[in-house]
Structure 1
Amino acid sequence: MERRQIIVVGGGLAGTATALGLASAGFDTLLLAPPAPDDRRTSAILGRSLAFLAELGVVDALGDRQAPLAVMRIVDDLGRLFRAPTVEFRAAEIGLSAFGINALNADLAEALGRCAATLGRLEIRSAAARGLTLSPDRAIVTLDDGAAIGADLVVAADGRRSPMREAAGIGSRQWRYPQTALVTNIAHSRDHASVSTEFHTRTGPFTQVPLPGRASSLVWVEDPKLADLYVDLRPEKLSETIAEKMHWILGEVTIDGPLARYPLGGSRVDRFTAERFALVGEAAHAFPPIGAQGLNLGLRDAEALIRLVSESRDDPGSRLALRRYEAARRGDVLSRTAGVDLLNRSLLVDFLPGQVARSSVLAAMGLVGPLRQFAMREGLVPGAGLVGLPRSVRKWMGGHEAAGDPVEQQGHGHD
């Protein structure tokens, strides 16, 4: 039987990044990546996730096919009695040139592939995994052609409906929201100036995120019945509707590509590991496209797994390494899941005390600098709100020393 140290199942962005990182760390790695459909969506990569990709060479491989995110603006467009003030989060306020980047998923996949092609310890096969057997001494993956491959560790990154997760006996809880996400890319007549704007509307967030040039990606959360109507609009009318919903801040708008729609929902697993088995990305947690959390969490999964199995190099699938991975990821995933869920649901309710509380929080963010800076650091790197951003993050995000950074004042980092 063929044998490898680690098998990664799933050739999406999180799976490929995990395999690339494991091979870069010196592990003999096999990536099972069946051909994926074309993906016109985009991903905003922030904080530690960006530093992780940069260290693998992916950001350099992207070249100019990325746009920096220097300012993130929240606009209350609910039309309710208590209207929160507009809040702007500026990366410069915490000593960074940008919070991260936004890029087409297709360009990210191509950059990951270019980096992977240079690694001798990484083999990529287009075969699909059809079966999984786990035991204390090894894991066995069966391919669609009937071949079986043994490994010290199997990493499943095969999506929110993960067949490998099911084969490992790990349960998950799925839920749906009464919303649909409309996703497209747009060109516009005015420069976005590296500013991302999130309009909070009665049906959910309506978010514009910069792309290179005078272009942006759009995630528009809408009532499902209205979403069906918008999909059928003529391109000229749809462009005008989008410009109006953005209050013409970017001028005239032109649709650049199809308008895709996705039912909004999420999922959470009972556990992240089994015997010689670990979950990363959407196989472990699925989010609605709100707050740029989905892929960033998947990349943080990858970074943590690589770091911890590297500390157990003789046996990367050991119970100790996997217990440590479980402990390292559970808090981050649970807190981000709860945060995204609370934000989304807060926009859907007309309960007056809830409106007041939400408006008060945003007002405090806008008025109180230390609170706003705490939120920005915590959003980029979990746990950095009070102790400051790690040097690795500042290095890859154009960072410079910010006044009052307790990490630098103490003369050490927490990478």
Structure 2
Amino acid sequence: MPAPSATAPYDIAVVGAGPSGLTAGLLFASYGFSTVIIAPKVNLSDGRTTALLQASVDLLTQIGVWDRLVLKAAPLAKMRMVDDTGRLVRAPEVTFDSLELDLPAFGYNLLNKDLNLILEKAALEQDNLTFLNQSAANYDAKDEATTITMGDGSTCQARLVVAADGRKSLAREAAGIDVKRWSYPQMAVVLNLNHDQPHRDTSTEFHTPTGPFTLVPLPGRTSSLVCVVTHEEAERLKDMGKAELALEFEQRAHSILGKFELNSEPQMFPLSGMIARALVGQRVALIGEAAHVFPPIGAQGLNLGLRDVAGLGKVLKAAKDKNNDIGSAEVLGAYEKERRTDITTRTVAVDALNRSLLTDFLPVQIARSAGIYFADKIPPLRRVLMREGIAPGTRSKRKSLLSRVTRRLG
């Protein structure tokens, strides 16, 4: 890794050192771009987990870190959905098996702190990649480059700024990119736990009247838990001791994994959503939570952000091969076009699923139950949904697959 410098001109400055930012820095440097990551520190204490789906695994393999990550991860070979709403109209229980797609797993679950540590080590070892342990405080975008001023007053220049600095992105704000925000009457309770019975590499999602209750495998007899409840219920759970809370969650899981024992402190987060009205501005591109935020449902959050990274990398590499300006409006417009449909459709789908669990409106209950029923009973539709869930294809591939399902139904 080159020695840090606050004056060297860079092709790309990635602002933010979460998983999306670190992965972006590694990918761009591997394409031959002189790249700097600007962030005060990497979070190596985050006890939450991330389920990395196949498209993310492919990207992490490409940048050479997956062999290290998989040693810390548990495979997600089966995805089980259980309607636990107790309502008049309920969906049948459905289990999707990765073997139906000739895959060993849909994805892999691991601790965020392990993911961040391995990505940071790779970034520090990567040629053509500099790490500036600073906070970006100001941006001055000009025709040829953007000057970034750090918290200590030092500066650097880059032909393109990649904003990976989260939902409160200063880079996005400096570019004048507006966002649409919304909130939900829910809180997510997140923790990790041990259990008596093996999870058999099966992720189980109970659909409840207040949102999903999801158990995702970790190595050994350990799982991560995301429990979505009302704000009032979250306050009740917050006041419980560890043993009482473990019993509460075991009962909510109908003891499918035996006795529970918490092995991390519970964390609580209000559920909200956000989508940027544009993914690009003058010499800036948004990725990850700088571009989109939605509830922890369906393992889409970071996976969507890593697809941003892959999509932006594809566009920038093509521009480099043609000797085009990577920060030009034309190149950034290609990134906007590349990613907008995927981001919009995923955001809408997650929002619709979450809201369908909250409503008592009978037609919505019937529609949700029917959708899950057909997903279980029609093999071509099952495969379409599974493929799209783990590694979204091109629009033409989706159209072809859905056409075959339509013909089959006809």
The answer (yes or no) to whether the contact 1:62–1:111 under 8 Å persists in 2 is yes
Deviation at 1:379, TM superposition (A): 1.1
Match of 1:392 in 2: none
What secondary structure does 1:311 align onto?
helix
Query: Identity over the aligned pairs, expressed in percent?
Result: 45
Aligned residue type for 1:65: K
The answer (yes or no) to whether the contact 2:42–2:120 under 8 Å persists in 1 is no
Q: 1:25 aligns with which of 6, 13, 31?
A: 31
Evaluate the alpha carbon distance shift between residue 384 and residue 251 of structure 1 in structure 2; reply closer, same or farther with a 3 A threshold. Answer: farther
2:189 is the counterpart of 1:189: no
Match of 2:259 in 1: 252
2:62 is the counterpart of 1:72: no
Contiguous gaps of at least 5 residues in structure 1: 389-404, 407-415
Aligned residue type for 1:35: K
Kindly report which structure 2 residues correspond to 1:147-186, keeping only aligned pairs within 5 A, or say none.
Answer: 147-186=154-193
Match of 2:16 in 1: 10
Q: 2:316 aligns with which of 283, 288, 309?
A: 309
C-alpha distance in structure 1 between counterparts of 2:127 and 2:91, whole Å:
54
C-alpha distance in structure 1 between counterparts of 2:279 and 2:178, whole Å:
10
The answer (yes or no) to whether the contact 1:312–1:318 under 8 Å persists in 2 is no
Match of 2:406 in 1: none
The answer (yes or no) to whether the contact 2:78–2:96 under 8 Å persists in 1 is yes
Match of 1:298 in 2: 305
C-alpha distance in structure 2 between counterparts of 1:193 and 1:57, whole Å:
28
Deviations along 1:101-152, whole A, 9 cap, x unmatched? 0110000001111221221201112101000111221111111111121111
Kindly report which structure 2 residues correspond to 1:87-102, keeping only aligned pairs within 5 A, or say none.
Answer: 87-102=94-109
Match of 1:360 in 2: 370
Match of 2:381 in 1: 371
C-alpha distance in structure 2 between counterparts of 1:165 and 1:63, whole Å:
33
Match of 1:409 in 2: none
Aligned residue type for 2:112: N
The answer (yes or no) to whether the contact 1:377–1:385 under 8 Å persists in 2 is no
Aligned residue type for 1:86: E
Aligned residue type for 2:20: A
Count of paired positions: 390
Deviation at 1:380, TM superposition (A): 1.6
Aligned residue type for 2:13: I
Evaluate the alpha carbon distance shift between residue 110 and residue 97 of structure 1 in structure 2; reply closer, same or farther with a 3 A threshold. Answer: same
C-alpha distance in structure 2 between counterparts of 1:344 and 1:384, whole Å:
26
Deviations along 1:378-403, whole A, 9 cap, x unmatched? 11222369848xxxxxxxxxxxxxxx
What secondary structure does 1:267 align onto?
strand
The answer (yes or no) to whether the contact 1:56–1:115 under 8 Å persists in 2 is no
Match of 1:126 in 2: 133
The answer (yes or no) to whether the contact 2:50–2:110 under 8 Å persists in 1 is yes
Cα RMSD, aligned residues only = 1.5
Contiguous gaps of at least 5 residues in structure 2: 1-6, 402-410
Deviation at 1:235, TM superposition (A): 0.8
Deviations along 1:83-116, whole A, 9 cap, x unmatched? 2110111111111111110110000001111221
Deviations along 1:16-46, whole A, 9 cap, x unmatched? 1111111111111000121245211100111
C-alpha distance in structure 2 between counterparts of 1:342 and 1:58, whole Å:
34
Match of 1:411 in 2: none
Aligned residue type for 2:176: G
Match of 2:4 in 1: none
The answer (yes or no) to whether the contact 1:61–1:115 under 8 Å persists in 2 is no
Aligned residue type for 1:28: S
Question: TM-score by structure 1 length?
Answer: 0.92
Kindly report which structure 2 residues correspond to 1:263-412, keeping only aligned pairs within 5 A, or say none.
Answer: 263-313=270-320, 314-383=324-393, 387=397
Q: 1:201 aligns with which of 195, 205, 208?
A: 208
Aligned residue type for 1:4: Y
Aligned residue type for 1:312: A
Deviates more, 1:56-65 or 1:258-267: 56-65
Question: TM-score by structure 2 length?
Answer: 0.93
C-alpha distance in structure 2 between counterparts of 1:104 and 1:121, whole Å:
28
The answer (yes or no) to whether the contact 2:37–2:132 under 8 Å persists in 1 is yes
Aligned residue type for 1:325: Y
What secondary structure does 1:16 align onto?
helix
Aligned residue type for 1:19: G
The answer (yes or no) to whether the contact 1:309–1:316 under 8 Å persists in 2 is yes
Aligned residue type for 1:364: F
The answer (yes or no) to whether the contact 1:61–1:114 under 8 Å persists in 2 is no
C-alpha distance in structure 2 between counterparts of 1:255 and 1:282, whole Å:
29
What secondary structure does 1:176 align onto?
strand
What secondary structure does 2:255 align onto?
coil
